[in-house]
Amino acid sequence: MCCTLHSMTARTHDTAALVALLAWSIVFPPATMTVATAMTALLANQLGGIAPDIDQPTAPFWRNLPIGRYFGRVFGALVGGHRFFCHSLLGLAVFGVIGRALLEFLQPIMPHIDSEVVWTAFMIGMISHLVMDTVTREGVPWLLPLPLKFGLPPVRKLRIVTGSWVENIVILPLLLAGAVWLCAEHYTTLSALIQNRLVR
């Protein structure tokens, strides 16, 4: 599958998005939180974590739609293919504008959901995706329309190969450990957010 050739696997992106969301919640805890906002923000975060890969016809979004792969191929061609527009700061800004507009449109039917928290969670997921893909062999064209792909470390051979043992045995477990550590180390902060501030 082409999604395994260029981009981190979905489970790695999902976990990275969650770790980033946890860190944000610890550093910038919302003043109040509803059950609906918490659940929607988590969903938005996970969607953001895989959203940039919508430029592939094999992306989960297209696979779950009737004749989705056809539309995925058309969309991918329109945005320049994989690791192009959707993996840049320009693409991030466009996704952000569309996401905010969609949330504002839906706000009347979601009165108990803080759309700002949900939007931020989505953007955190998207940013985590670009950061994770930056450490892979292909890199990311952060500064489109400049046709330059940036990667870390600068030496391409030292970057991660998607689906390799480095990703599966090192990167993914480290991300999972990071999530556990954040929850354990900042239990009081997260507990206060969930127990004391959660409006049911």
Q: What would the pLDDT profile of 77-97 be if each residue is shown by its tens digit?
A: 887 778 899 999 999 999 999
| Average pLDDT estimate for 2-13 | 66
Instruction: With cut-offs at 50, 70 and 90, classify the pLDDT of residue 75.
Output: confident
pLDDT of residue 7: 60
| Predicted confidence (pLDDT) per residue in 28-37, tens digit | 988 888 888 9
- Predicted TM-score (pTM) of the model is 0.87
User: HSE on the CB side for 90, CA within 13 Å?
Assistant: 12
Within-domain flag for 64: no
Within-domain flag for 66: no
Q: Provide the domain count of the chain.
A: 1
User: HSE on the CB side for 4, CA within 13 Å?
Assistant: 6
**Packing angle of the helix pair 115-134, 35-50 (nearest 10 deg):** 30
pLDDT of residue 3: 40
- pLDDT over 50 (residue 200): no
Q: Domain limits at 127?
A: 3-50+83-199
Instruction: Write out the two tokens for 50.
Output: 């895989």
- To the nearest 10°, report the CA torsion of 10, 11, 12, 17: 90
Q: Which residues pair with residue 136 across a beta bridge?
A: 160
Amino acid code (one letter) for 51: A
| Average pLDDT estimate for 4-29 | 86
Are the CB atoms for 8 and 87 separated by under 8 Å? Answer: no
pLDDT of residue 196: 56
Within-domain flag for 141: yes
Within-domain flag for 39: yes
Within-domain flag for 100: yes
Instruction: With cut-offs at 50, 70 and 90, classify the pLDDT of residue 2.
Output: very low
Within-domain flag for 131: yes
Within-domain flag for 55: no
